Amino acid sequence: MHRLSKRSVKSLVRSSTAARYRDVAAPISSTHFFYQSADADSKGRWYSVLTSGRCDVIESAKPFKSRNEPFLGCRFESTAAASDTSDSPSEKFEYQAEVSRLMDLIVNSLYSNKEVFLRELISNASDALDKLRFLGVTEPELLKDAVDLDIRIQTDKDNGIITITDSGIGMTRQELVDCLGTIAQSGTAKFLKALKDSKDAGADSNLIGQFGVGFYSAFLVSERVEVSTKSPKSDKQYVWVGEANSSTYTIREETDPAKQLPRGTRLTLYLKRDDKGYAHPERVEKLVKNYSQFVSFPIYTWQEKGFTKEVEVDEDPSEAKKEGEDETAEKKKKTKKVVEKYWDWELTNETQPIWLRSPKEVSKEDYNEFYKKTFNEYLEPLASSHFTTEGEVEFRSVLFVPSVSGMGKDDMINPKTKNIRLYVKRVFISDDFDGELFPRYLSFIKGVVDSNDLPLNVSREILQESRIVRIMRKRLVRKAFEMIQGIALSENRDDYEKFWENFGKHLKLGCIEDRENHKRIAPLLRFFSSQSENEMISLDEYVENMKPDQNDIYYIASDSVTSARNTPFLEKLLEKDLEVLFLVDPIDEVAVQNLKAFKEKNFVDISKEDLDLGDKNEDKEKEIKQEFGQTCDWIKKRLGDKVASVQISSRLSSSPCVLVSGKFGWSANMERLMKAQTVGDTSNLDFMRSRRVFEINPEHPIIRTLTEACRSTPDDEEALRAIDLLYDAALVSSGFTPENPAQLGGKIYEMMNFALAGKWGTVPEYQQQAIQQPHIPETVEAEIVEPGEAGGQK
């Protein structure tokens, strides 16, 4: 005899009181299942007929009468209390745990999504079938009943009832107490341990359950759960009944012949009021296809179907009179098409996943069809990879490179793209990952991953961080790069151009975030260049075209190819026929700076100071510095803090000057990008801007003229104003933004007026004086002439 706690007594009183009201039930509808066999050698087939009021027998099937015949009997589905009408005595037990707290955790905290209850229950049913199949090898008498190994799910949406039936191993009375009465004790884990301890058997990798709480996920949506089970090792069938808000459960023997099972388990879920939507056949079918589509046993769902047939239609007498048909003419009977509806079992899952098949047996069309169906795509993928990894971590995977970007070219911020579907033993776990399996920059890769030994949490929803996950991630990333490299080396160059157009920015982001894979990312990058303005080239092609004495990879960052082509920084390099990469995307410059080098060739920004083109002549440089050193100091004194220094340039040939960035400062392109993101904070900009270096071309006439002015009249106002205008012009031509565009415009207009004066007409003397001294106007005396003296006559 069991001693009950106060809580159990209260629950018993509540259940007894509720039972008095539940006993008064309205007439109920029923669902009948019949077993039919053509001969003794054929396997049994199951049929279900929805009737109301009583159980009818159709001609082609008869109800079971012996204990070994029936698999499913007459099952009432109207109310939660309808099936609790057995006359056999019930024994009451208490859970062997702190149930009130533990059940609350399972129902309210363990699972984040209610719909996983069906996944867990189907996984348990699959385990029961696997156990039977495994034990049947050594104990053939367990399979003496000719019943298919399958799972069948039927719903009653009117009453909110779901029935899940499997023809697996079933449970004895003691196993019911051990597995369902002790929360968190896994029958599957116990079975696997027994297999490992045995001498002649190993663990069956197809078994799914491992935590022992999957069954209780039924209480996420159910207020009451009934488990009717029959083990082939026992002559009796037992019924386990539990409620969501109760700390007790009951076990009784099934005495109703109509409900007898040959073997296996039938779960009946009486759904809560708010969750009765799960009892719709369409929703059940959707959940099975999403979570359990690749379970190794067939899953049948009870679905409404229909077929079209033609029926005769009575002719309207009024229409017959209007037509005035000839009595001798043969009358044609009118018909119409109607849809005849009926209910039948429908196979819902595919028992053979594509990734479990050998790659040699799968055609390209099969991969494309799987890709389109799984990820709801309409275009074929650019590439696919089907592989199996063994060793420390064992898993199978099929990966795809999409043809187009599904989330937009500029949206790389959110890594949760639901592109990788994770399966554990063919059961769908999740597609919501935050970089555990793939880094953010490869989030466009789509595919499935199936493993048998992943570290999941108890609810099998969260992938825990571990060494196994890190190894798996590394191998998946490597396979992804092999696919992309295959596209790049393909004979069809358009394929990679299409890939680069959609996912090029993702790889550039990888240069910033994944230093470990720089050697894999760098060969996949593409850029325009000074020798290829219309077609992008790879870094390998750039290195092949380098001059024998060229040691660096030169690049210039700008907002467009046109702007980069016309920059003054290119002048000397174009003369030497040195190729320069054009970085025209905002992310390009940061990506290249993170790469630092490619095949031992350093990346060099030609807009930075100390540019070495490999043609330095120290004697000539020393001579030039002595000649123009005074000029550089004079210009630096005039510009003040606007520049860090004034130097002789080795990169100019036709421009008089250029404004370059400091070695560790921002380039003009980077300054423009950072200025757009500072949100009003210009403190960093002021520091980086002070590192600009003003370089002059000693061969240019303007610089030579200013050198003469420096030597003769260094304080001449016109010469100093020319320096200011020269700096502003260099600021614009070098890609920087002038601080005062209006002031720069005024200087240009003034110089234009001065240059154009007297070119296309005679300029009055007072205008010339106004141009030369605009701030000190001079008074001109004029002789007054009388009007009468204008013609020389009075």
**What does the radius of gyration of the chain's CA atoms come to, in whole angstroms?**
43
Report which of 342, 393, 403 is spatially closest to residue 368, judged by C-alpha positions.
Answer: 403
155 annotated as ligand-binding: no
Report which of 609, 602, 598, 725 is spatially closest to residue 656, judged by C-alpha positions.
Answer: 725
In one letter, which amino acid is 219? Answer: F
**Token output for 663:** 């070695």
Count CB neighbours of 197 within 10 A.
8
265 annotated as ligand-binding: yes
Report which of 17, 145, 43 is spatially closest to residue 136, judged by C-alpha positions.
Answer: 145
653 annotated as ligand-binding: no
215 annotated as ligand-binding: yes
Q: How far apart are CA 449 and CA 430, in angstroms?
A: 10
**Token output for 14:** 């509540």
**Token output for 698:** 């000693």
Cβ within 8 Å of residue 781, ≥6 positions away: none
186 annotated as ligand-binding: yes
CB distance 185 to 288 below 8 Å: no
213 annotated as ligand-binding: yes
Secondary structure, 3-state, 638-662: HHHHHCCEEEECCCCCCCCEEEEEC
Q: How far apart are CA 9 and CA 221, in angstroms?
A: 25
214 annotated as ligand-binding: yes
120 annotated as ligand-binding: yes
In one letter, which amino acid is 530? Answer: S
Report which of 88, 137, 75 is spatially closest to residue 266, judged by C-alpha positions.
Answer: 75
Q: How far apart are CA 411 and CA 405, in angstroms?
A: 10
212 annotated as ligand-binding: yes
Q: Positive or negative CA dihedral for 566, 571, 574, 580?
A: negative
CB distance 397 to 449 below 8 Å: yes
User: What DSSP element (H or E) covers 603?
Assistant: strand 601-605
717 annotated as ligand-binding: no
Give the three-state DSSP class for 586: coil
CB distance 52 to 77 below 8 Å: no
Report which of 700, 707, 753 is spatially closest to residue 730, judged by C-alpha positions.
Answer: 700
Q: Is 86 exposed, middle or buried (0-12, 13-18, 19+ CB in 10 A)?
A: middle
467 annotated as ligand-binding: no
404 annotated as ligand-binding: no
575 annotated as ligand-binding: no
Element counts in the chain: helices (H) and strands (E): 22, 26
1 annotated as ligand-binding: no
Detail the residues annotated as belonging to a binding site. Answer: 120, 124, 166, 171, 186-187, 210-215, 265, 460
Detail the residues annotated as belonging to a binding site for ATP. Answer: 120, 124, 166, 171, 186-187, 210-215, 265, 460
